[in-house]
Amino acid sequence: MARPKSAVHDLRRDEILEIAAACFAAQGYPVASMNDIARACGTSKARLYHYYESKEALLFDLLDRYTQQLLALIATSEAAAERGKLDDLAALHALVRAFLLEYERAGTRHVALVTATPYLAPELRERILDRQRDVVSAVMRHLRRAYPERFTPRNQSALTMMLFGMINWTFTWLKPDGPLSYEAFAEEVIQLLEHGFSGPRLPA
């Protein structure tokens, strides 16, 4: 019978995933090698293969965990909105804030999701894409509830992807030491959803 994995083993796996995500973000998935990841982890490539049989297996575990985390974020936000008796609009605003807080915290894991998913084998890629579709569907549901007169079966996908277009690529330009924080940007997104570009300017 196989021995159960120890807490130390799981902790080390988490550390490897964090370091691998940083390598993928810095070098790009095709360029970053298991040697690079092992070196960054301060271990040998043989030891790294003890945890993951291939670079693809490592990437899949990283994306599998992260997409599960995004679905958990939605469930947590919905539960908090229900406890707080938020209306549909306030619940959507809370979800936007939660996503951007997660994107800031996740950093390189989010970069890996939006840039490295195409490099997975088809069956693995489809599993990650299915979970991403679940995330998009959940956000679409929130948008329809918040703006029932604006959303129709014809435009709901386009409008939902407009929101994701605003927030998904923040890692390319929204820098920690820049003039705008993720928290402040979340409020800008909410302001844009509510009033478009004609809305009042937010206080600095």
The total of structural domains in the chain comes to 1
- Which domain does 93 fall in, by range? 59-198
Q: Is residue 17 part of a domain?
A: no
DSSP code of 202?
Answer: P
Task: Calculate helix-pair angle for 55-83, 7-27, nearest 10 degrees.
Answer: 100
Q: Which of 13, 193, 10, 16 is nearest to 96 (CA)?
A: 193
Say which residue, 52 or 176, is predicted with more confidence. 52
Q: How far is CA 190 from the centre of its chain?
A: 19
Task: State the average pLDDT over residues 37-66.
Answer: 95
Looking at residue 10, what is its pLDDT? 55
Instruction: Give me the chain's average pLDDT, please.
Output: 92
Task: State the average pLDDT over residues 108-114.
Answer: 95
Assess whether pLDDT exceeds 70 at residue 3: no
Q: Is residue 86 part of a domain?
A: yes
Q: Is residue 10 part of a domain?
A: no
Q: Is residue 2 part of a domain?
A: no
With tokens 């600095």, the residue in question is: 204
CA angle, 117 as apex, 71 and 190 as ends, to 5°?
45
Q: Is residue 12 part of a domain?
A: no
Looking at residue 203, what is its pLDDT? 79
Q: How far is CA 170 from the centre of its chain?
A: 11
Other Cβ atoms within 10 Å of 154 Cβ, number: 7
Looking at residue 200, what is its pLDDT? 73
Q: What is the pLDDT of residues 130-189, one digit of tens each?
A: 999 999 999 999 999 999 999 999 999 999 999 999 999 999 999 888 899 999 999 999
When pLDDT is cut at 50, 70 and 90, the band that residue 33 belongs to is very high
Assess whether pLDDT exceeds 50 at residue 8: no
Which CATH number fits the domain that encloses residue 79?
1.10.357.10
Q: Is residue 144 part of a domain?
A: yes
Residue 85 exposure: Cα atoms within 13 Å on the Cβ side: 0
